[in-house]
């Protein structure tokens, strides 16, 4: 089957890969290429078509391999696969790449519920180290003084902003946002339905009828066409005989070519769109999350999870001489830090929020007045040194009295911990303010 390869995609990857195998004088060449875009647009598949077209050897890593119960295993895996790709170049005399699929799912941090583990730190640091020293990649416990072949690393992901900011800075990573235009979509969908004999007019009509759907939607439409024949087959052999008819059989079932008329395809497409809308409209998890919010759930009132982590602000860049790292992607306005050492509230206190110091209460009122939401995080004295904050309750209330009462209750429950107040923009789902409002008594 002849699949469509976007000229823009081919050019971007071909230039990046070839440039990494050339020795250009006085030129800093990024080793990493991050291919990002919305889900289902065929990023990985387009990469595979480029590799096949250029005759490139590929060593794969899945984002799911970037976590392990044993600290250090994912970082060692990256070094091992990188050296394996370099060895392929030496042995086979062909270009090779290291391909990391869904890097944001393995090393990104999306919200306050995502655990930032030692392995995540080691993966980020290892990739930065390889990007800075691509010909000197050593395995733990051994040292080889001989330089290895420089091998470009291609990463795919949906949201690269969830990664550690110094990793994706210019100089280490080149970025390519893949959003197929109308011509690309027509070409890709035409390749999907090429064995089915659809005309170019039918392909154009199908694409224009569902202009907001991702590429994988059209593959799902084609797969759905076979459902009718499979259903007829199941009932013809009987439900109790399906297993013996399809598993380890010398005469597997065969199916005639289904109806690939444009009217039938549009009908199936409309049915899939209705199912998508049902999923979006039901949102049963929202009802569940609203019940849990008083107990510390981390979802916003509209059911969306806020992005509660700024990689650039969380940790310094190990490769930066000053140790300050790059500037954060979403700079936060500076706020006066208020230190509050709690004292036990008097018994039968009718207004818990009245025990808040005026500075904290004013800060709560100021954040709510700007239309932001509030959240809290806490950490004990030992984990404070490693910046390992734990999520507290997300405050859905918009009135200052209720919000202050929740803040006061959190301070009381974590009297021996650090507590910080967070302001969240409900539109961008990003933090706009962080302020420590309590430090444990010495």
pLDDT digits (tens, 9 = 90+) for 80-134: 999 999 999 999 999 999 999 999 888 887 765 556 678 888 999 999 999 999 9
Quote the pLDDT of residue 258.
84
Q: Which of 10-24, 241-255, 389-403 has the lowest mean pLDDT?
A: 389-403
Q: What pLDDT is attached to residue 413? A: 85
Whether residues 39 and 109 fall in one domain: yes
Contacts of 237 (CB under 8 A, 6+ apart): 245
In a shared domain, residues 212 and 78:
no
Range of the domain at 155: 7-177
- Is 320 inside any structural domain? no
Report the run of H or E that residue 405 belongs to, with start and end. Answer: helix 400-413
- Which residue, 123, 145, 177, sits at the end of a domain? 177
Give the SS3 label for residue 156: strand
Residues of the chain with pLDDT > 90, as a percent, come to 38
Token pair for residue 128?
A: 């930065």
What DSSP element (H or E) covers 35? strand 32-36
Co-location of 153 and 196 in the same domain: no
pLDDT value, residue 288: 61
pLDDT tens figures, 296-348: 444 444 444 334 444 444 444 444 444 444 434 444 444 444 444 444 444 44
37: how many CB neighbours lie within 10 A of its CB?
A: 19
Instruction: Answer whether residue 344 is part of any domain.
Output: no
Q: What is the dihedral of CA 192, 193, 199, 205, to 10 degrees?
A: -70
Q: Are residues 173 and 201 in the same domain?
A: no
361 pLDDT tier (thresholds 50, 70, 90): confident
Q: Output the domain CATH number for residue 214.
A: 1.10.8.1070
Give 228's pLDDT tier (boundaries 50, 70, 90): confident
Whether residues 379 and 411 share a domain: the answer is yes
In a domain, 76, yes or no: yes
Q: Mean per-residue pLDDT for 240-266?
A: 87
- 145-182 burial, b at 16+ Cβ within 10 Å, e below that, comes to eeebbbbbbbbbbbebbbbbbbbbbeebbbebebebee
Q: Are residues 272 and 128 in the same domain?
A: no
Residues 241, 126 within the same domain: no
* Residue 417, domain CATH: 3.30.190.10
Name 66's Cβ contacts closer than 8 Å, sequence gap at least 6. Answer: 74, 78, 103, 106, 107, 119, 120, 123
Question: In DSSP terms, which residues pair with 35 in a beta bridge?
Answer: 156, 176
Based on the domain organization, do 114 and 212 belong to the same domain?
Answer: no
In a domain, 39, yes or no: yes
* Domain assignment present for 56: yes
Q: Are residues 260 and 186 in the same domain?
A: yes
Model confidence at 36: pLDDT above 90: yes
Please, how many CA atoms are within 13 Å of residue 348, restricted to the half-sphere of its CB?
0
Are 43 and 173 members of one domain? yes
For residue 207, being part of any structural domain is answered with: yes
- Asked whether residue 332 is assigned to any structural domain, the reply reads no
User: Which of 121, 145, 177 is the endpoint of a domain?
Assistant: 177
Could you say which of 157, 177, 197 is where a domain stops?
177
Q: How many domains does the chain have?
A: 3
In the block, tokens 């706020």 appear at 335
Judge if 41 and 71 occupy the same domain.
yes
Assigned domain for 291 exists:
no
What is the C-alpha separation between 189 and 215, in angstroms, rounded? 7
pLDDT at 151 over 50: yes
Task: Based on the fold, state whether residues 38 and 171 are members of the same structural domain.
Answer: yes
């Amino acid at each position: 089957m002849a699949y469509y390869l976007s000229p823009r995609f081919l050019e971007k990857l071909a230039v990046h890969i070839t440039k990494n195998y050339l020795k250009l004088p006085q030129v800093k060449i990024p080793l990493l290429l991050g291919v990002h875009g919305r889900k289902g647009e065929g990023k990985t598949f387009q990469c595979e078509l480029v590799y096949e077209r250029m005759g490139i050897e590929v060593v794969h890593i899945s984002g799911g391999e970037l976590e392990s119960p044993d600290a250090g295993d994912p970082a060692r895996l990256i070094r091992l696969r990188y050296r394996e790709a370099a060895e392929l170049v030496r042995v086979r005399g062909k270009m090779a790449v290291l391909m990391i699929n869904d890097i944001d799912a393995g090393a990104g941090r999306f919200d306050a519920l995502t655990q930032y583990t030692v392995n995540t730190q080691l993966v980020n640091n290892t990739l930065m180290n390889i990007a800075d020293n691509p010909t000197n990649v050593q395995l733990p416990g051994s040292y080889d003084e001989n330089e290895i072949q420089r091998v470009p690393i291609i990463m795919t992901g949906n949201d690269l902003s969830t990664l550690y900011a110094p990793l994706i800075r210019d100089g280490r990573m080149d970025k390519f946002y893949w959003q197929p235009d109308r011509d690309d979509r027509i070409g890709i969908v035409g390749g999907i339905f090429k064995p089915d004999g659809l005309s170019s007019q039918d392909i154009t009509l199908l694409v224009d009828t569902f202009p907001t759907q991702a590429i994988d939607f059209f593959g799902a439409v084609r797969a759905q066409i076979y459902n009718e024949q499979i259903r007829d087959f199941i009932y013809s052999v009987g439900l109790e005989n399906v297993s013996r008819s399809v598993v380890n059989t010398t005469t597997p079932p065969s199916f005639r070519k289904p109806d690939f008329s444009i009217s039938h395809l549009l009908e199936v497409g409309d049915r899939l769109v209705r199912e998508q809308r049902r999923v979006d409209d039901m949102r049963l998890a929202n009802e569940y999350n609203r019940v849990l919010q008083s107990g510390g759930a981390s979802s916003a009132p509209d059911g969306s999870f806020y992005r509660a982590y700024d990689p650039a602000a969380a940790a310094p860049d190990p490769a930066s001489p000053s140790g300050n790292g790059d500037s954060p992607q979403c700079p936060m306005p500076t706020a006066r830090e208020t230190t509050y050492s709690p004292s036990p509230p008097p018994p039968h206190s009718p207004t818990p929020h009245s025990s808040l110091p005026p500075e904290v209460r004013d800060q709560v009122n100021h954040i709510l007045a700007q239309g932001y939401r509030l959240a809290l995080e806490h950490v004990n004295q030992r984990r404070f040194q490693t910046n390992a904050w734990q999520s507290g309750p997300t405050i859905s209330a918009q009135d200052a009295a209720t919000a202050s009462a929740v803040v006061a209750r959190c301070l009381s429950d974590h009297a021996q911990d650090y507590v910080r107040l967070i302001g969240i923009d409900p539109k961008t789902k990003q933090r706009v303010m962080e302020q420590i409002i309590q430090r444990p008594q010495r």
